[in-house]
Structures are given as structure tokens and as C-alpha cells.
Amino acid sequence: MAKKINTNRVIPKFADEALRLAKGDRKAAYSQYIILMYRATGRPVPGCDNKELQAYYDETGGDGDEIQGD
């Protein structure tokens, strides 16, 4: 049975920051999300998977176009 995508598990604050740190690269954003969650919780478990993070970006229009790097 396929796992249902649940974007409610994505923490917007971390997802948005992860995309910014990845300079708009959605593929790299999941790695950044895991790092941010680890720093915040001390656990290497992000609470969501990459499909859910990408669905969150789809819902919010996070395509990286408006993201500017440092």
C-alpha cells in the first residue's frame, strides 16, 4: 500500500529556510531540511519525506524563482 502524502507533517519555517539555503534547488532542499530539523531537535528524523516536502513546495509555489542566495 502506498503511503499517503501529508503536507501537514512539513514545518513551513524549516521548509522555507531549507529552500533558501539550497538557493532554490528543490532537490537539495530536502537535505537542508534534514539538517535544520536535526539542529532544532537533535534527532536525524525530519518528520516528513521528500515527496511531502516537494508537495508542500507545489502547494505554496516554492519553485525557487523568488529565492535569493546569501
pLDDT value at residue 70: 44
User: Is pLDDT above 70 for 68?
Assistant: no
Q: Give residue 69's pLDDT band: very low, low, confident or very high (50, 70, 90).
A: very low
- Which pTM value belongs to this model? 0.84
List, for residues 5-17, the tens digit of each pLDDT value.
999 999 999 999 9
Digit-coded pLDDT (tens) for 55-65: 999 999 987 55
- Dihedral angle sign, alpha carbons of residues 52, 20, 22, 58: positive
CA distance 11 to 6: 12
Helix (H, G, I), strand (E, B) or coil at 11: coil
Q: How far apart are CA 23 and CA 18, in angstroms?
A: 9
Would you kindly state where each structural domain of the chain is located, as residue ranges?
8-60
Question: Residue 28 and residue 31: Cα distance in Å, rounded?
Answer: 6
